[in-house]
Amino acid sequence: MAEDLYISSGNKEDKYRTLLMQVESLIEGEDNQIANLANVSAALKETFGFFWVGFYLVDGDELVLGPFQGPVACTRIKKGKGVCGTAWSRAETIVVANVDEFPGHIACSSLSRSEIVIPLINNVRGIWGVLDIDSEHLNDFDEIDSYYLEKIVYLVKDV
C-alpha cells in the first residue's frame, strides 16, 4: 500500500499517468470497497485540487452518497436525475462544461460550475455506482479527464 502520493509537476496528462500507477498500487491487495473508494477520492482531490470528488453507490433506484472529499453533498439521487443519475441511466461518461446549462442539474453547491461523472460498471451486476467530480471553473473537464478517469474507475472493482 502506498503511504505517500507523488504529484507530477507536468501537464494534466502527466499527472493522470502518474496517478494511475499510484492508484493501482494503492488499491492492490485491498478488497474493502469503501477503503478503496475513499483513497481514490483523496488521491484525485489531492492531485488536481478539484472542488468535490466522490462516489455515489447504487441502492435500489437511487444513488447514495459514498466516500468523498469536499464540502457536504446531496445524499440521494434518483436514477435519471441530475448529471449523476443521467450518467447512471445512460451508462456513459458525461462531461458538463457549465452545470447551469444542464437540464435538471442538482445543485449540491452553488460553487460548482462544471462536472464530470463516470459510471462504475461490473460485468455481472452492471452499474454499481458513479464517480462524480465537480470544479469551481467552467469547462474544466475534457477528453483527457474522461480517458484517464475511466481507466481509474476500471481499477476499482465491485466486491
Q: What is the pTM of this model?
A: 0.93
Bridge partner list, 119: 130
> What tens digit of pLDDT does each residue of 39-53 get?
999 999 999 999 999
At 120-149, the pLDDT tens digits run 998 887 999 999 999 999 999 999 999 999
Q: Is-contact 75 65, C-beta < 8 A?
A: yes
Domains and CATH numbers, the chain: 12-155 (3.30.450.40)
Q: Which residues is 100 bridged to in the sheet?
A: none
Looking at per-residue confidence, does 6 or 151 come out higher?
151
Nearest Cα neighbor of 128 from 67, 74, 56 is 56
Lowest-confidence region among 10-14, 21-25, 99-103, 147-151: 99-103
One-letter amino acid at 15 equals K
